[in-house]
Amino acid sequence: MDFNPCMKHKVARKIVREFAETELAPLVHDMDREARFPWEIIEKMRPLGFFGLQIPRAYGGAGVDSISYAIVIEELSRVSAAVGLCVTVHNSVGAWPIVRFGTDVQKKRFLPVLAGGDRIGAFCLTEANAGSDAGGVETHAVRDEDGYLINGTKIFVTNGGICGMALVFAVTDPDNPRHGASVFVVENDTPGFSVGEIEDLCGMRANPVSSLFFEDCHVPERNLLGRPGQGLKIGLAALDTGRIGVAAQALGIAQGAFEASVRYARERQQFGKPIAAFQTIQNYLADMSTEIDAGRLLLYRACAYKDAGQPFGPEAAKAKLYCSGLAKRVTDLAVQIHGGYGYSKEYDVERYFRDAKVTEIYEGTSEIQRMVISRAVLARPS
């Protein structure tokens, strides 16, 4: 096994890091404080291919390998986790299911506009009574003459406030609601589609998370993704890919907090010397560095499984579980190293600390990841 990054991965990291530090970093404090989505940054990202990372080149995408994809998300999240969240949700659970399950007609119709960032993608599964219980969807779609009428409400939709296209899970078999859900591609200009208020969140404040409402929302049959009743299959496959993105996002948050802590430890003077000279601080930094490296290896292993065409669900779950946990632990230590300053909104580590927590919740909570992993362990022959 080669642990040295190849040239294309080094180049990808360099390009995205330069973009994030030049374009994102000057705005990130105001974006968080104002809970403002940075459309001006999105315009600059579109020609760079960030919105088509997992879309084949035949449809206008970048078609990069999964490690390159993870590097892009990590480097964006190292500066702004909210922008990293927008890009990973758009690519992984917004566009990738169409790549995987869409017809040729659907791919030609939807993927180019997603790849160019002309429409931002969203993934609509969570409801008031359906989150970790993916089979508990209550939104329903009823056949009419030439398609379906969708009625229901989705909550906590990442990119919800700015999405141009959403994958919506709705029950199409009322006699078998837990296994009779289907997935529909719904464009934001469809009559009956509306956006609720933007959530006032603890972290990821620059991402417009909202509810989405569907009231007699008519969707033509050609917008059905896969076959009727394949919703759970499509959803679980999408979440496997999404967990790679969230792991990369969590890793980027941790990396940013770690680097800020190293700089601060070298500069901050106490008792006549930099606090980096104290063994406690050195131990903190050693633990942070070790956890980040371990998480990155788990993440890249999941990416390698995916690109090799092997089942990668348990590997993605392990990467997501560990990286989200390490993001919380590393950002907690970062605040501790900064002391009182770490609790001030003037310092990046306070924002990293708030942003880290939700990575243990979305795309499947840590408890769900443990369930996925344990099922794989118990399914192996003894």
d(CA 186, CA 13) in angstroms, rounded, equals 34
d(CA 33, CA 369) in angstroms, rounded, equals 32
- The residues assigned a catalytic role are 363
Closest CA to 352 of 159, 205, 162, 156: 205
d(CA 74, CA 131) in angstroms, rounded, equals 25
| Residue 357, CA distances (Å) to 136, 202, 203, 339 in order | 25, 9, 8, 19
DSSP 364: S
Helix, strand or coil, per DSSP, at residue 274: strand
Tokens matching residue 75: 């480097």
- Do 317 and 362 contact (CB within 8 A), yes or no? no
Cα 73 to the center of its chain, rounded Å: 8
Closest CA to 323 of 215, 381, 243, 259: 243
* Phi/psi-derived region of residue 117, left when phi > 0, alpha when psi is between -120 and 50, beta in every other case: left
Which residues, listed in sequence order, are joined to residue 182 by a DSSP beta bridge?
170
d(CA 121, CA 274) in angstroms, rounded, equals 47
d(CA 243, CA 367) in angstroms, rounded, equals 14
- Do 225 and 95 contact (CB within 8 A), yes or no? no
Torsion of CA 301, 302, 308, 312, to 10 degrees: 140
Pairing label, strands 121-124, 165-171: parallel
